[in-house]
């Protein structure tokens, strides 16, 4: 169903002409206070998405429908989250689509698991493992808010012990990915995709060596960097501060052959 305007109980993204962003839940009779002024929640109900209203100080505010990452980034968290640029690349490499089954761990704050759940819904499933279930209630609540609760299953346990068969994808977001390569081989169907993320070069090298020894050929090994620009008439330039290295992304496909350490592999088209 196409969403044209918010109502009470909906979350909306407010983007002000000063560049501030606010994600709020509309509640009857309440007022939103910020450095940009005051807005009554009731004033926003029924306004079409894309409308512009003014605060008590005359500041213009756009009413927008929140995208998935707006909701995910607003979640309370104590663990590091995966950045949008890396989420997109990982989902692409996994070929995540409705109906896909993906094993993932560790869950942490749940951003990666939830994002993948939005990609495989409907008909698919993300089965996420974590040693602790501390964040599971918050992740389940977020899944309900996103409408993907049926596409996400949370399991307390070690990713090394994952017992899912015939998975389309396997994601290792753990400190020592090389230890879960046998589990990836056990869970993935033939040709299934493994994706892992690590922050350091040492972890990268050790992970790729373990992949090849477990019959997983490396499809892509690298990092993704984005250089934002500040665009203003007569003063367009790159922004002074950019987020450079976040993680290395590793992906590969499972083969029936056990050890492919001796294979000489090239990057696929589009990455060369």
pLDDT in tens, 170-198: 999 999 999 999 999 999 999 999 999 99
The number of residues making up the chain comes to 272
Higher-scoring residue by pLDDT: 219, 178: 178
Query: Taking the domain 70-254, which CATH number applies?
Result: 3.40.50.150
| pLDDT at res. 180 | 96
Per-domain residue ranges for the chain? 11-66, 70-254
CA–CA separation, 145 and 123 (whole Å): 18
pTM comes to 0.84
Across the range 18-24, mean pLDDT stands at: 89
CA dihedral 187, 191, 196, 201 (to 10 degrees): 130
- DSSP secondary structure code for residue 267 in this structure: P
Which residues partner with 193 through β-bridges?
A: 169, 253
Across the range 50-55, mean pLDDT stands at: 92
pLDDT at 1 over 50: no
Q: What is the domain class of 11-66 according to CATH?
A: alpha beta
Check the CA dihedral 94-100-103-108 and report its sign: positive
């Amino acid at each position: 169903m196409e969403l044209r305007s918010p109502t009470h109980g909906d979350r909306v993204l407010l983007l002000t002409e000063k560049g501030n962003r606010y994600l709020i839940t509309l509640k009857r009779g309440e007022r939103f206070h910020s450095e940009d002024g005051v807005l009554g929640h009731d004033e926003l109900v029924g306004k079409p998405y894309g409308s512009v209203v003014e605060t008590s100080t005359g500041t213009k505010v756009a009413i927008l429908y929140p995208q998935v990452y707006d909701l995910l980034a607003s979640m309370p968290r104590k663990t590091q989250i995966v950045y949008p640029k890396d989420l997109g690349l990982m989902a692409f490499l996994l070929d995540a689509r409705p109906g896909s089954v993906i094993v993932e761990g560790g869950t942490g704050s749940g951003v990666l698991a939830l994002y993948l759940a939005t990609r495989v819904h409907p008909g698919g499933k993300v089965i996420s493992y974590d040693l602790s279930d501390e964040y599971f209630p918050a992740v389940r609540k977020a899944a309900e808010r996103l409408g993907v609760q049926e596409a996400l299953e949370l399991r307390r346990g070690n990713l090394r012990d994952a017992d899912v068969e015939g998975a389309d994808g396997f994601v290792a977001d753990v400190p020592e990915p090389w230890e879960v390569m046998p589990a990836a081989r056990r869970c993935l169907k033939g040709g299934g995709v493994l994706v892992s993320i690590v922050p350091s070069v040492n972890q990268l090298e050790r992970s790729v060596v373990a992949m090849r020894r477990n019959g997983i050929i490396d499809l892509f090994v690298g990092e993704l960097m984005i250089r934002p620009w500040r665009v203003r008439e007569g003063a367009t330039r790159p922004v002074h501060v950019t987020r450079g290295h976040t993680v290395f992304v590793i992906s590969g496909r499972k083969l029936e052959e056990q050890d492919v350490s001796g294979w000489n592999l090239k990057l696929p088209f589009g990455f060369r």
